[in-house]
Structure 1
Amino acid sequence: MEKILRRKKSFNGKLSESPATTTSSSSTYNEEEIEWEMRPSGMLVQKRCEKSEVSAPSLRLRIAYGAFRYDISISSQATFGELKKLLSAETGLQPGEQRLIFRGKERENGDYLDMCGVKDRSKVVLIEDPSSKEKRYIEMRRNAKIQSIHRAISDVSLEVDKLADQVSAIEKSIANGTKVPEVQITTLIEMLMRQAIKLDSIPTEGDASVQKNLQGKRVQKCVETLDVLKIKNANIKPVVVTTKWETFDPPATTHWEFFD
């Protein structure tokens, strides 16, 4: 609430209050408007002028935040809201997450330090707003869950990389006409399907869903490739390797000469 009282100030420095209907007298007066405002405490004080010619003295406050202690320098005409902004850089708490207690009472953002009796070396207690603390805890749990999901997808991705290399090796062998044991292809398909089951069991949303779908498509492509290779491998005739033996003539009979 604001009240505006009109007062006439004479040159001799005295203040005389007069109603709005009073006519001007022979003396010369200067009129000035004084604005008043009601503080949250119920005290009626003169409203501050935004542009003050006299610089306000600086205060050095002692801030207690749990086991931590901070020394903050701030203007005596600053508000508790401005003090919270300075404390954000020190504590990491956003202004909306802070509650400032002075003389056993929580102070509002618009309360001025000097109006509340704050002086140099005064102690102000900072506590974290309980609701913001709960929100932060929920956010931490959510981030931990997201990190766990990304790790699970990354583990599947590494396994799929290894299996994809084996698929490429089998594909190269069959392309060269080399028959591959069918159990090798069947086992590889089963291993890929296990990775597909792992992916399905991972609950995802947002970016994690994109990564999950990408790995799922990789597994599907590898399985489809192996199905095609299985058919090609069955049509390859096994190569019969025959050993060619080298034949030798029997050794010639040696004729021995006898002497008497």
Structure 2
Amino acid sequence: MMRMRELTSVKEKNNELEVRPGGMLVQKRDPDEALNRIPPPTIRVRVKYGSIYQEMIINSTATFGELKKMLSGPTGLHHEDQKIIYKDKERASKTFLDVVGVKDRSKMVLLDDPVSREKRYVEARRNAKIAKAAKAVSDIGLEVDRLAGQVSALELVISKGGKVADETMSNLIELLMNQLLKLDEIKVDGPYGDVNQQKKLQVEKVQKFVETLDVLKIKNTKRNRVNNGVTTAPNRHQSGRSVEKFAPIAAASQQREVSSKNTSRGVVVTTQWETFDSLPTIIQAPPSTSTSTSITGETKQHNFNWDLLLK
């Protein structure tokens, strides 16, 4: 018997519950509930703004924020710049009318809030600045993507062994550095993560492309040096052969010049050395005469008798 009661209660609960499309288990809705529901009554409130009364018809379960939006048209005040006083108290925008006792033909006072207006102006300027910064970062991102295509093309050419002018790579690096300077000029104060994150991503992307170009420039320069060395090698080989070919002639002419110089000085230098005996032959000197011939035979030396001078 108890088991039957439990099953009956579970069936009743299952009939009262239903599963929503999101997977949440909630109480089952009556399909005729919307037709049988009685709409809340509408009330008429009088709102004084300056010396003018505004009579507004509004739902009794509405909020003061909805009433402020309805008053924006006839009063010309922004709903965030309005302050509604009911029963000598300022009412928040999220407060319901029926909760605080607003009834048909209730009276309220509408005031202009300069502090709220100033906050709204500051917030509007800040939002405009953020929007401008976001647009600038987006434009720079498009330009960086365009330059990235050129970097990829240069990388492909160099990887296949092609040559690229250093001036082309230097100009591309300069364009990327200009975009980096533009990103640095964009200043966004405050916790605006979206704009700052996009700016940081663009800076990292530009730095990566500049580093890639620096590496490609070094590879390109080394390859050009190697190619220049290979083309000039045969010329150096031929010049070496020519030097070897004409070396004996140059040596002979140089030897003639040295021999002519030494002959003019009275000394002849040759590379053929004469051989001498180990002990030279001793030759006795001839008897002294009044005159004698010098070794060279060019000058004569007189021998004076010094005894006559002493007398």
TM-score range for the pair, normalised by the shorter chain length: 0.5 to 0.7
CA contact (8 A) 2:158 2:216 kept: yes
CA distance in 2, matches of 1:148, 1:89: 29
**Aligned residue number for residue 220 of structure 2:** 233
CA distance in 2, matches of 1:204, 1:100: 36
Instruction: Considering Cα pairs closer than 8 Å and 6+ residues apart, tell me whether 1 or 2 has the greater RCO.
Output: 1
Indicate whether 1:197 and 2:181 are aligned: yes
RMSD of equivalent CA atoms: 3.7
Choose from 160, 164, 167 the match for 1:176. Answer: 160
**Which consecutive aligned stretches of 4+ in structure 1 deviate over 4 angstroms post-superposition?**
62-67, 105-108, 110-114
Structure that is richer in helix per residue: 2
**Aligned residue number for residue 255 of structure 1:** none
Choose from 57, 82, 85 the match for 1:72. Answer: 57
Structure that is richer in strand per residue: 1
Deviation digits for residues 67-121 of structure 1 (CA, Å, limit 9, x no counterpart): 9x6732355xx9xxx7624415535736xx532368xx9654497556xxx738x
Choose from 169, 180, 185 the match for 1:185. Answer: 169
CA contact (8 A) 1:61 1:72 kept: yes
Query: Gaps (5+ residues) in structure 2?
Result: 1-40, 73-77, 92-98, 232-311
Q: Percent identity at matched positions?
A: 44
1:231–1:93 CA distance, 2 compared to 1 (3 A): same
Choose from 209, 217, 220 the match for 2:207. Answer: 220
CA distance in 2, matches of 1:209, 1:60: 50
CA distance in 1, matches of 2:89, 2:157: 78
CA contact (8 A) 1:59 1:73 kept: yes
Deviation digits for residues 98-146 of structure 1 (CA, Å, limit 9, x no counterpart): 32368xx9654497556xxx738x7x55344221111111111111111
Indicate whether 1:119 and 2:101 are aligned: no
Choose from 137, 143, 148 the match for 1:164. Answer: 148
Q: How does 1:25-104 map to 2 (within 5 A)?
A: 59-63=43-47, 71-73=56-58, 84-88=64-68, 90=70, 91=72, 93=79, 98-100=82-84
Query: Gaps (5+ residues) in structure 1?
Result: 1-56, 241-260
1:189–1:74 CA distance, 2 compared to 1 (3 A): closer
1:229–1:70 CA distance, 2 compared to 1 (3 A): farther
CA contact (8 A) 2:46 2:105 kept: no
CA distance in 2, matches of 1:83, 1:222: 56
> How many residues are aligned here?
170
TM-score, normalized by length of structure 2?
0.46
**Aligned residue number for residue 253 of structure 2:** none
